[in-house]
Each structure stands twice: as structure tokens, then as C-alpha cells.
Structure 1
């Protein structure tokens, strides 16, 4: 019997492993709170059946073409009054255009609204077509068209004013020095007498000079002739100076 039971036990299938149980369904801890709040705030004014609304009057029945759009009525011109024409926009007016902001549209707007480029002036100097810009070449008379063309520069006027002021200061200093030295002015009578005396001396020395021998063969004759020439030159210089200046000052020594 033992052997038979052992054989029977060997033929039994192996026991299956125990499977884990299904987890409990998740229930929020706030479910009761939410349910109470929903019941508390429930609309109490709702009733059974359709809502009671105002019934339209039979006089306001739907008419034909009543829901089609209609144009605004035209304004009639009053007698003696005329409608003014719309003002023409100025040349500088640019309408506002709402377009997509991308670089293609921006470039197109810049070209449309931008000012046209002015043509550049060239100068062709050879028959092969060699050319160069006319403005930087110096051939275009653009400097004579300036507003300040022909006007004396400021630094020149300032320099002239400084020179004039220095000349006035110099003249003032000279007059002050003359006053300090107490120089005396020769009268017209004294000037005439001095001039006559100088001319008389010149005539006497000239007479002596003309009386010299033609041949100056000795050293004494040469020295005497040179001395007379120097005296004549000095007298001529003094006579010319007195005749040239009407006012003559003499320092008090």
C-alpha cells in the first residue's frame, strides 16, 4: 500500500504558486468633501418643465426680408449747402499697412517707401570709356555755391583786430614815452631857419667841391674830395628829412 501511495503521489501535478491579489481601488480622501460641496451649492431655483419666458406679441410677427442687411439711409443735401470734397492726402502721407513682419516684407516696404537714389555724375576722359567720379575730382564748382563763399574767415578778422589793437597800443606807448621825455616841438619858423642854414652850408661846400682840381694825384687831394662828398651827402639827407616831416621833436638834454 505504501508503494502504491508513493506511486500515486509521484503522478500528481505540481502545485501552482499563489498569485498576488488585485489591489484595492483608489479612493480619494477628498471625495466626501467634494460630494458635500456639490450638494450644498446645487441650484435650488430650477423647476420641472420649460422655463417661463415672455411670449412675443402677435403684432411683431416675422416679416419678409426683415433679417437681410440694409444700407444706411442717404443724407439729403440741404438747400444752399454743398458737401465739401475730401481733402487730398499730402505727398508725405504713408498709409498704415498691417502685414506680416518678416525680412521679405520689410525689404519690400523699405523699397516702396524709400527715396530713389540720385544719379552719380561721371566724367569720361578717354575714348575707351575710362571714367571717374566728377564730385571728388575737383572739376565740379561746389565750393563757390557755399553760403560762406567770399566771406572773410573768422581767424582773418580776429588777426586784423589784434594787429589794429597792437598798433594802437604801440602808438599810445610812443606818445607816453614822448610825454615822459618831454620832447620839444620845433616851430615852423625855427624849422625854416634850419632848412635855410643847411641849404646855405650845402651851397658853400658844393662851391668848394666844384673848385677842386680835376686830377687828384696826391693822397691829400683824394681824402679832401671824399670828405667833401660825405658832407654833401649828409647835408642832402638832413635837408630831405626836414622837408619830408613837418613836425620835428627835439629831446631836452
Structure 2
């Protein structure tokens, strides 16, 4: 009176009938069944907050610069800080604007 067991899903990979388990083959989509599938990982969220913190530190250094730019090192420092702040602003904007970011390997 026992209920028969379900057979394990298998696939044949050669014409002679060599059988393998279907679960380990990669043909079954098991990652989309996870609870965190499609959610932004925490490390990316922390990275965005870290970028904002870095921008704040650079902005503080920029505010500490003197108003008169009379020497070459002062001009260079100001330009470097401005470039770094612009790049961080672009990166922060990119991460916050899009929910999904796809990076393709162009080999």
C-alpha cells in the first residue's frame, strides 16, 4: 500500500544512452528560484554609500582650498579635486539611476 517514489530526473547525453542527473547538468534553472534572485546585492548598496562618503571628503578638501590660486601646485590640486568629484558624481548617478546594470564581456 506504499506510494511509489518519484524517479530522479535524468538525461541521456550520448547516443548510447549514457545517463546523468538532470539537476547537476545546468539545464534546470535553479538560481531563479532563490529568494534573493533579482535583488540588488548588499555590497553594491554599500559601495554607493561609500562613494557618497568619498565625495563628501573630497568636497571638504575642496572647501578648504584658498580662494586665490596663485601657484601652480594649488591650481593642480584644485583641478585634480574637481576631476575626482565629477567622476564620483557620474558614478553615483549611474548606480542610482538604473535598477539593473549589465556588463558584457567583449573578448
State TM-score, norm by structure 1: 0.25
Distance 1:247 1:216, change over 3 A: same
Note the C-alpha offset of 1:250.
4.4
Partner in structure 2 of residue 156 of structure 1: none
Equivalent-residue separation in structure 1 for 2:80 and 2:74 (angstroms): 10
Q: Which of 201, 211, 233 is the equivalent residue of 2:54?
A: 201
Give the structure-2-normalised TM-score: 0.57
**Residue aligning to 2:84:** 231
Aligned residues: 68
Aligned residues: CA RMSD: 2.0
| Distance (Å, rounded) in 2 between the aligned partners of 1:193 and 1:251 | 23
List per-residue Cα deviations over 1:158-208 (Å, max 9, x = no partner): xxxxxxxxxxxxxxxxxxxxxxxxxxx883312211110110110010000
Task: Report matched runs for 1:49-198 at 5 Å.
Answer: 187-198=40-51
Separation in structure 2 between the aligned mates of residue 207 and residue 196 of structure 1, nearest angstrom: 17
Work out the CA distance in 1 between the residues paired with 2:45 and 2:103: 15
Question: Could you tell me how far apart the structure 2 residues matched to 1:250 and 1:186 are?
Answer: 16
The unaligned stretches of length 5 or more in structure 1 are: 1-184
Runs of 4+ in 1 over 4 A off after TM superposition: none
1:216 to 50, 69, 76: 69
Question: What CA distance in whole angstroms lies between the structure 2 residues aligned with 1:246 and 1:187?
Answer: 8
Change in 2 beyond 3 A, CA 1:250/1:194: farther
Q: Which has the higher contact order (CA 8 A, sep 6+)?
A: 2
Tell which structure's C-alpha radius of gyration is larger.
Answer: 1
- Taking a change above 3 Å as real, the CA distance of residues 219 and 186 of structure 1, as seen in their structure-2 partners, is farther
Once the two structures are superposed, residues 102-127 of structure 1 have per-residue CA deviations (whole angstroms, 9 ceiling, x without a partner) of: xxxxxxxxxxxxxxxxxxxxxxxxxx
> Any unmatched runs of 5+ in structure 2?
1-37
